[in-house]
Amino acid sequence: MRRGVTISTGAIALGGRLVATHTGGSDGDGVRRAIAVVLCMVLAFGAIGGQLVRLALKGGEHGQSNMTTPIASGVARPDVVDRKGRLLASDVEALSLYADPMIVIDRDEVSEKLARIFPDLDTARLRQALSDRSRRFVWVRRGLSPDTAQRVHNLGLPGLAFRPELRRAYPSGRLAGHVLGGVNIDNRSVAGIERYLDEKELVDSVVVAAPSERRPVALSLDVGVQHALEDELAKAMTTYDAPAAAGLVLDVTTGEIVASASLPGVDPATPDGAPARETVERVSAGRCELGSIFKLRTLAEAIDAGRVGPQTIIDVTQPLNIGRYEIKDLHPSGRPLTVGEVFLKSSNVGAGILALGAGAERQRDFLSRLGLLEQMRAETGALAAPLVPERWQEIETVTISYGHGLAVPPLQFAAAAAAMVNGGNFIQPTFLKRRPGEEIERRRVISAETSARLNELMRRNVAEAGGTGRRADAAGYRVGGKTGTAEIAHKGRYEGNSVISSFLAAFPMEAPQYLSLVILFEPSRTAASGGEITAGQTAAPVTARLVERIAPQLGVLPILAASGER
């Protein structure tokens, strides 16, 4: 045989050597081997599965099930709009900056460079947080503007990242700040209407920064009227050198609060946990003695009870002596006055005589019917509780008749006053817009006839030369009202030069629809007030300017247009 390579069935010759190969045989052997492998795998997995079942059953009732679920990371709030649909509050998406200490390379570099962007950053605290490598998440700054977020991004520092969050935005800035209230860093309410949304479960927990799909919440406020009120109060604080002011506008036919302001105001975008004394909300959270505007209530009770009429004569020529106290008028008339004149000339003596004629029990009962003795609630929260005398004797009966000795929130008194000018029905005030056709709960407190008589006296007090509210006569509009000048008690004693000056007004007086209340706290004797601090010289002219601005916005026609004259 020749040396070489010879290929034949069943053998291969390599280098002269024969190597046997298997080129035939049955395919059944391979199939059997595959089946054996599969059976082994099935048995193995079966054993593992059986062991898992055995362990699960062994745990019995103590078995536990662990599962991963998304954790809500924010709160989505509905939009808040005014009565005409204008936006007051809304959620927007903003980036928040956080750090991962495990990835941060140089904590000192991170702290130093971030401090250049955030001068108020607590760098020592940040360094300490970044030193803990077991932590994977540390908030640095939340709610960044796009420009600030870009500056941080440009630093290119490892370990810093952004997370989108919902932040509350208030397009009108500080307007109606006290009413809106504001939210905290987690988009949860702090006070005001925002707290109402939380209480009524109108907010939703969300995992991602997704805006609320709920319908906007419509308030009774009118942005235009609110702006006019705040603007006039701010000007009055400057004109009369008053440290604070407050006011509201109320629809007396529906109870809707069209505007409410307390100055100095607050920014709802940056609410304080505990507001400073000067920025406290005075319309509903504060309470004060309001002075002679309470005489409207005194006359209402006396006239409605039928004890007197507007022409009944009251002898006010002498001071009223109650024990060791002497009650006298600021400007004594020197002659008897009719009940109407008691109102027009704001006689404390006359009001005291009317109150004594009713007695303490009837006075308390009437105040209770008007809702002035119990704590009231509104959508913005509970109002301050009225400060009621511990003892209710003759002197308290007399002083309350002209607005001293009983301190109430201005909103609570405005609601009572609305009942006295709207035909005699008390309506719970609301910050929410009434729905078309909504049934309004009314409670009669005085007769329609008594209300009409009071309206006539209020108009005379502004329109007639001798009225204390003469300076509230707005050009083109029939305004009626009552002045109130209440001395402020300091350390248990009233100070004659420290007063709360207020003016209660209603318009148009032929069929009152709106009520306004303007309050100036501790106005000074300025040239604009003629050296006086009384309401007739301070709060009354503010009211005139306010009505001239808001009446057209509220659809109240001027006198000439309403009568068809040219």
Quick: pLDDT tens for 182-222.
999 999 999 999 999 999 999 999 888 888 999 999 999 99
Residue 152 amino acid letter: V
The number of angstroms, rounded, from the C-alpha of 195 to the middle of its chain's C-alpha atoms is 7
Whether the Cβ atoms of residue 397 and residue 360 lie closer than 8 Å to each other: yes
* Percentage of the chain exceeding pLDDT 70: 89
pLDDT, mean of residues 312-323: 94
Given this model, what pLDDT does residue 18 score? 40
Q: What is the pLDDT of residues 119-156, one digit of tens each?
A: 999 999 999 999 998 889 999 999 999 999 999 999 99
C-alpha separations of 462 from 190, 338, 382 in Å = 41, 18, 34
Band of residue 232 on the pLDDT scale cut at 50, 70, 90: very high
Global pTM reads 0.83
**Alpha-carbon gap, residue 312 to 338, rounded angstroms:** 5
Whether the Cβ atoms of residue 430 and residue 312 lie closer than 8 Å to each other: no
User: Judging by beta carbons within 10 Å of its beta carbon (0-12, 13-18, 19+), is residue 436 exposed, middle or buried?
Assistant: exposed
pLDDT score of 73 more than 70: no
Least confident of 37-46, 104-113, 466-475, 541-550: 37-46
Tell how strand 381-382 and strand 425-426 pair up.
Answer: unpaired
Question: How many CB atoms lie under 10 A from the CB of residue 288?
Answer: 21
Whether the Cβ atoms of residue 420 and residue 454 lie closer than 8 Å to each other: yes
pLDDT score of 339 more than 90: yes
Band of residue 55 on the pLDDT scale cut at 50, 70, 90: low
pLDDT, mean of residues 416-432: 98
pLDDT score of 28 more than 80: no
**Alpha-carbon gap, residue 545 to 516, rounded angstroms:** 12
Band of residue 517 on the pLDDT scale cut at 50, 70, 90: very high
Whether the Cβ atoms of residue 420 and residue 446 lie closer than 8 Å to each other: yes
pLDDT score of 16 more than 50: no
Torsion angle, alpha carbons of 299, 493, 531, 239, to 10? -90
Band of residue 510 on the pLDDT scale cut at 50, 70, 90: very high
Band of residue 2 on the pLDDT scale cut at 50, 70, 90: very low
Whether the Cβ atoms of residue 419 and residue 367 lie closer than 8 Å to each other: no
Residues designated catalytic: 292
Given this model, what pLDDT does residue 57 score? 66
pLDDT score of 114 more than 80: yes
pLDDT score of 59 more than 70: no
Band of residue 331 on the pLDDT scale cut at 50, 70, 90: confident
C-alpha separations of 287 from 294, 405, 407, 417, 452 in Å = 14, 12, 5, 16, 29
* Residue reference for tokens 């603007």: 231
DSSP readout, 393-408? -HHHHHHHHTT-S-BB
Higher pLDDT, 300 or 61: 300
Q: At 265, list the tokens.
A: 């105001």
Q: At 520, list the tokens.
A: 């100036």
Q: What is the pLDDT of residues 436-456, one digit of tens each?
A: 989 999 999 999 999 999 999
Q: At 417, list the tokens.
A: 């006053």
Decide: helix, strand or coil at residue 285: coil
Q: Return the H-helix or E-strand segment holding 223.
A: helix 223-239
Q: At what angle do helices 360-369 and 348-358 cross, to 10 degrees?
A: 100
C-alpha separations of 57 from 50, 52, 65 in Å = 10, 9, 13
Given this model, what pLDDT does residue 41 score? 78
Whether the Cβ atoms of residue 410 and residue 282 lie closer than 8 Å to each other: yes
Question: How many CB atoms lie under 10 A from the CB of residue 412?
Answer: 25
Given this model, what pLDDT does residue 559 score? 85
Band of residue 68 on the pLDDT scale cut at 50, 70, 90: very low
Residue 473 amino acid letter: D
Specify the length of the chain in residues: 566
Q: What is the pLDDT of residues 237-290, one digit of tens each?
A: 999 999 999 999 999 999 999 999 999 999 999 876 555 677 889 999 999 999
Contacts of residue 159, defined as CB under 8 A and 6 or more positions apart, other chains included, come to 99, 100, 101, 102, 103, 104, 105, 110, 130
Of 310, 99, 108, 81, which Cα lies nearest the Cα of 197? 81
- Name the DSSP letter for residue 41: H
Given this model, what pLDDT does residue 466 score? 86
Given this model, what pLDDT does residue 497 score? 82
**Alpha-carbon gap, residue 115 to 144, rounded angstroms:** 15
C-alpha separations of 522 from 236, 255, 293, 519, 525 in Å = 12, 29, 17, 10, 10
Given this model, what pLDDT does residue 489 score? 77
Whether the Cβ atoms of residue 550 and residue 520 lie closer than 8 Å to each other: no
**Alpha-carbon gap, residue 328 to 350, rounded angstroms:** 9
**Alpha-carbon gap, residue 206 to 214, rounded angstroms:** 13
Mean pLDDT of the residues in the chain: 89
Higher pLDDT, 22 or 186: 186
Of 152, 135, 467, which Cα lies nearest the Cα of 295? 467
Given this model, what pLDDT does residue 492 score? 66
Q: What count of Cα atoms within 13 Å lies in the side-chain half-sphere of residue 164?
A: 10
pLDDT score of 307 more than 90: yes
Angle at 389 between CA 386 and CA 394, to 5 degrees: 135
